């Protein structure tokens, strides 16, 4: 119901798509309009576009079981975005997108070799930033309760002094806690990357987390990824409301971050103002994302998968039997697209650019 209501807001009533449920089914759906980015073709062979001026925001969720083509689709769309002057940043757990980004004239940065400055409040107040950082840190290191609450003043000190070592010093009286967070924080104490400078440079970027390895590396990767995403939100929000996005952040394997209750992704999705950025979460596990999010993001793309996966999706979106069959038995490259303001899910054959295909 809420979804239907959101489709009927006066602002989007002009969209032809909103009138479709009011039409008798025998009337052929109106032709697709042109938009920013071609995503694929519908069953009639007509082009289906993403049009950011019509979408209420540029956020997205892209789901599909392993091998269904999420990463490939993200690269393909990214190529079209960059051609239209919209920058892209890939949060890339294993470096899978590095070559593609370099092919676009972009840069690859490994957060292990080029640690970002996580203390930069990026438009948040120092209190809010300390609060956010310490809750992410507590969650990724599994430090809860009273011990977790001890992190906040220590991180606050670090934010004020602009030095992560200050947090480690402040935690000296609590050696157990110090040992839990030291492997995450210490390698970040000499930052080599300021996100603000990276955003100003405006070049396509692949931020490689290299999360496979020791536990500390995985915890650090999650901490850094969450901090960076919160900074993107902070910095882009200070630039004010924008009609078109300037930046899309593709978060590959987002389920690992979405599982954290302190992740900044959902908060960005819940923001109703239209800032100049979009987070595109790629996930194998659609049910990890709360139901309301599917009604808030500008668009969702559901790629194919198993029976269990398609059933999971049916609980999240209003899919018809034909949509379900399309996803279950469809060949690779078939998807269902849900755009906010267009109450009809579209079955599409994705238009994947050849530059995006990486054979494994
Ligand atoms: N539309 C397509 N046409 C041709 N090949 C494709 C298409 N989509 C994906 N592929 C190929 O399928 C393989 C898996 O795709 P991809 O890595 O994008 O899947 P994924 O959904 O990201 O998987 P995972 O969840 O494991 O990361 C790759 O080798 C890719 O090149
Ligand atoms: Mg992938």
Band the pLDDT of 34: cuts 50, 70, 90. low
The domains found in the chain, sorted by start residue, are 2-118+191-356 (3.40.50.300), 126-188 (no CATH)
Query: pLDDT digit string (tens) for 302-313?
Result: 999 999 999 999
Q: Which two tokens stand for residue 44?
A: 């009639």
- What pLDDT does 32 receive? 53
Question: Tokens 């978060």 sit at which residue?
Answer: 251
What distance in angstroms lies between residue 228's CA and the mean position of ligand 1's atoms?
Answer: 26
- What pLDDT does 80 receive? 96
- How many C-beta neighbours within 10 Å does residue 137 have? 27
Question: Tokens 């157990």 sit at which residue?
Answer: 176
Question: Tokens 């080029």 sit at which residue?
Answer: 114
Judged by average pLDDT, the poorest of 181-195, 247-261, 307-321 is 307-321
Residues across the chain: 360
Q: What mean pLDDT do residues 75-88 have?
A: 97
305, 68 in Cβ contact below 8 A? yes
Q: How far is CA 110 from CA 30, 176, 210, in A?
A: 47, 29, 7
Relative to the CA of 358, which ligand 1 atom is closest? 31
What distance in angstroms lies between residue 120's CA and the mean position of ligand 2's atoms?
Answer: 30
Which phi and psi angles does 207 have, rounded to 5°? -100, 105
The reply to whether ligand 1 has any atom less than 6 angstroms from the CB of 205 is no
What are the residues facing 91 on neighbouring strands?
Answer: 207, 251
Q: Which two tokens stand for residue 103?
A: 């092919």
37, 84 in Cβ contact below 8 A? yes
- The number of angstroms, rounded, from the C-alpha of 196 to the middle of its chain's C-alpha atoms is 18
The reply to whether ligand 1 has any atom less than 6 angstroms from the CB of 254 is no
193, 205 in Cβ contact below 8 A? no
- What pLDDT does 18 receive? 41
- What pLDDT does 183 receive? 96
The reply to whether ligand 1 has any atom less than 6 angstroms from the CB of 71 is yes
Q: Which ligand is nearest to the CA of 351?
A: 1
Over 60: is that where the pLDDT of 10 sits? Answer: no
Q: Which of 218, 210, 215, 275 is nearest to 249 (CA)?
A: 275
Angle between helices 215-238 and 126-141 (to 10 degrees): 150
- The number of angstroms, rounded, from the C-alpha of 322 to the middle of its chain's C-alpha atoms is 28
Relative to the CA of 75, which ligand 1 atom is closest? 18
Q: Which ligand is nearest to the CA of 335?
A: 1
Determine the Cα–Cα distance for residues 220 and 150; give it in Å rounded to an integer: 19
Relative to the CA of 350, which ligand 1 atom is closest? 1
Out of 330, 351, 357, mutate this one to test ligand 1's pocket (max ligand atoms within 8 Å of CB): namely: 357
What distance in angstroms lies between residue 280's CA and the mean position of ligand 2's atoms?
Answer: 13
What pTM does this model have?
A: 0.90
- Residues near 207 by beta carbon (within 8 Å), at least 6 away in sequence: 89, 90, 91, 92, 109, 111, 225, 228
Q: Which residue has its alpha carbon closest to ligand 1 atom 18?
A: 69
What distance in angstroms lies between residue 251's CA and the mean position of ligand 2's atoms?
Answer: 10
Q: How far is CA 66 from CA 98, 285, 351, in A?
A: 20, 10, 19
């Amino acid at each position: 119901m809420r979804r239907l209501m959101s489709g009927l807001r006066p602002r989007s009533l002009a969209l032809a798509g909103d009138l479709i449920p009011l039409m008798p089914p025998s009337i052929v759906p109106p032709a697709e309009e042109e938009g920013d980015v071609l995503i694929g073709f519908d069953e009639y062979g007509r082009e289906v576009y993403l049009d950011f001026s019509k979408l209420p925001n540029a956020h997205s969720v892209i789901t599909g079981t392993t091998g269904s083509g999420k990463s490939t689709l993200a690269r393909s769309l990214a190529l079209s975005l960059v051609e239209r002057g919209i920058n892209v940043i890939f949060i890339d757990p294993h470096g899978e997108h590095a070559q593609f980004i370099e092919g676009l004239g972009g840069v690859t940065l490994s957060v292990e070799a080029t640690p970002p400055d996580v203390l930069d409040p990026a438009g948040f107040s120092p209190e809010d930033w300390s609060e956010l950082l310490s809750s992410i840190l507590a969650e990724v290191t599994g430090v809860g309760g009273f011990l977790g609450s001890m992190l906040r003043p220590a991180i606050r000190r670090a934010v004020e002094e602009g030095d992560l070592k200050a947090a480690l010093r402040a935690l000296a009286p609590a050696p157990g806690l110090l040992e839990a967070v030291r492997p995450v924080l210490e390698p970040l104490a000499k930052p080599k990357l300021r996100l603000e400078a990276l955003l100003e440079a405006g070049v396509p970027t692949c931020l490689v987390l290299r999360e496979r390895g020791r536990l500390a590396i995985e915890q650090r990767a999650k901490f850094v990824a969450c901090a960076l995403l919160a900074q993107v939100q902070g910095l882009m929000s200070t630039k004010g409301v924008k009609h078109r996005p300037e930046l899309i952040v593709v978060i590959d394997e987002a389920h690992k971050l979405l599982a954290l209750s302190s992740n900044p992704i959902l908060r960005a999705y819940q923001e109703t103002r239209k800032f100049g950025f979009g987070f595109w979460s790629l996930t194998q596990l659609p049910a990890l994302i709360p139901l309301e999010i599917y009604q808030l993001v500008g668009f969702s793309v559901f790629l194919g998968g198993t029976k269990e996966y398609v059933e999971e999706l049916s609980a999240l979106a209003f899919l018809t039997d034909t949509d379900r069959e399309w996803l279950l038995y469809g060949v690779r490259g078939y998807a269902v697209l849900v755009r906010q303001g267009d109450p009809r899910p579209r079955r599409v054959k994705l238009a994947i650019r050849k530059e995006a295909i990486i054979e494994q």
